Structure 1
Amino acid sequence: MHEKNMTGITMIHILGFQFSQNINIVAFFLFLVNYFMTICGNFLIITLVSYSKSLHSPMYFFLSQLAVSDILLITDILPNMLHMNLVKETKVSFSDCITQYYFFAVLEVLDSLLLTVMSYDRYLAICKPLHYNLIMNHQLSWIMVVTCWVVSFLVALIHTITISKLQFCGPYVIDHFFCDLDPILGLACGDTSIVQLEILYLVIIVAVIPFFIIIISYAYIIFTIYKIPSITGRQKVFSTCSSHLIVVSVYYVTLMSVYMVPSKGESWNMTKFFSLLYTVLTPLLNPIIYSLRNKELKNVFGRLINNFPKFQ
């Protein structure tokens, strides 16, 4: 018999991925390796940006903040997933479930805002090169980053509080691998239309509008690059923003894939798969994309490796 609190639920059973025991073991090691590589890759980005004065620019400062966000995001999701792969029955308290969702929402909003800030930085660097250092100075960079963090915490807090005030009465099962929005709302026994309307408005503010800002920024960037007479010049300029464009594409494609798939019935397996992409795979891909396509990062990494014996 489940004990109930004022929400109607105290413990929630999270189903996760319904694999056989052998596949669960394989999945555990794959997720563990993914977690280790993600932490190491993003920590490497943070270390390189901190280590080299040549990377003390707004672009790499924003990139280091994105790396921090990715570390926190995968840490919010993967440890529970690893636990689910080891035990057949995973139960969490309702408060822990809401807390996990809150930090997940914070970090998803933060990623959206940071990618938008990074696109604005690239717009200034390519389209307004003579004014770039004057506009995008150290102080403005910090103001933009702090604003992104504060807005993310506040936006997530607003709708998480609204969700927690709903009446929940079961069933006590979440058919997902973490406490996402739709599974949580599926536990509510009352009208959730107000919550969904509130979330719609917030999504427009922190996801849709930033997406269009990014699109407009890259429209200007592409137009500016197109006016460069030499092909070599075009390639050199485009290389400064190609990594960011790939990361933006991966982020929004995987994110939209989840919410374009109906979250009912057999399609839950597809929803879980797409959710896995943007919660577990994307934080791993971001440092790989930037490391492979950025000569400055590779050069700094090479110097760091060469100088490592000197520190011993």
Structure 2
Amino acid sequence: MRSGSTVHEAGRAPVVVGYDGSAGSRRAVRWAAHEAAARGTGLRVVVAADDPGVPGTRRTATRLAPLRLGDGHEALAEAVALAEACSRGVTRGGLVRSGQPGGVLVDQSHTAQLVVVGCRGRTALPASESSTSLITASRAACPVVVVRGRVDAPTLDPVVVGVGVGEPVATTVAYAAGIATRAPSPLVLACGWSQDAGSLSRVPRPVPDRSGSLATVVRDVQAQAGRSLQRAAELAHRLAPGVSVRTELLDTRAERALEGLSWGASLVVVGRGGTGPFPGLPLGRVTRSVLEHAGCPVVVVPPEPREDEPREDGARA
């Protein structure tokens, strides 16, 4: 474990929130405090400080310099006090670690049930590969919430789940069903598909003959999207029998569909994706776009480990 200091915390796996003194991280602490109270678990505030390798180490008009280790303790006390003011019934703890914020939070995710970050931190680089939110969302061992947009939506506002055409939905639907049952909130299962040829070329097609007309391909993709939504809805009804479930099949790009629905939602739930034009990226095109433009908090749910993947301790999953 990296060097630093720790404030004692008790209880089962906590909600972890990253704090750096920025406005985005203060919003994240408030959201995380309320979420920890709703889950009946503790809150762990994590401050990463004093890493000279972090881009943007100089203060400018639009971003703050990264925290120095000596200032981390003051920042931690400030965050814990903020959490206490938001939710007095939550057991609070915290720690200061030296290191790059995204890497520190990924380390902490192995002992957390949820990691919460703001959409913009001190470096103010929301779309950069070096941004804390993208690093954490793409590598964490547990779900990651990026707090953006409306953070105080009424509980009756729906939880929106992104359903990819032909992609696995078990983890995202299960996560969203648990949230919706607890609130309670309605579930909206959304699948956006586009008639744009460039987009269709990346969607798996059920027909072996790819030389057919575009109209045929469009019908096939629409039918496959409908089947994906149907499977997701059947799973949601099984996991959350008392929750209202609605499906939305939208003739638009997936990211536009989710971004539009997010402005009337309390939460958007997506997987990591990675099946876009650059499969090597840890986050897919849709997920990255939603993290940048959604009108409410977004949770990125990691996939279940494959059976042949080694665990952290070297055992098989």
TM range (shorter): under 0.3
**Larger Rg, first or second structure (1 or 2):** 1
Greater percentage in helix: 1
Greater percentage in strand: 2
TM-score with structure 2 setting the length: 0.24
Q: Whose RCO is larger (CA < 8 A, sep 6+)?
A: 1
TM-score with structure 1 setting the length: 0.24
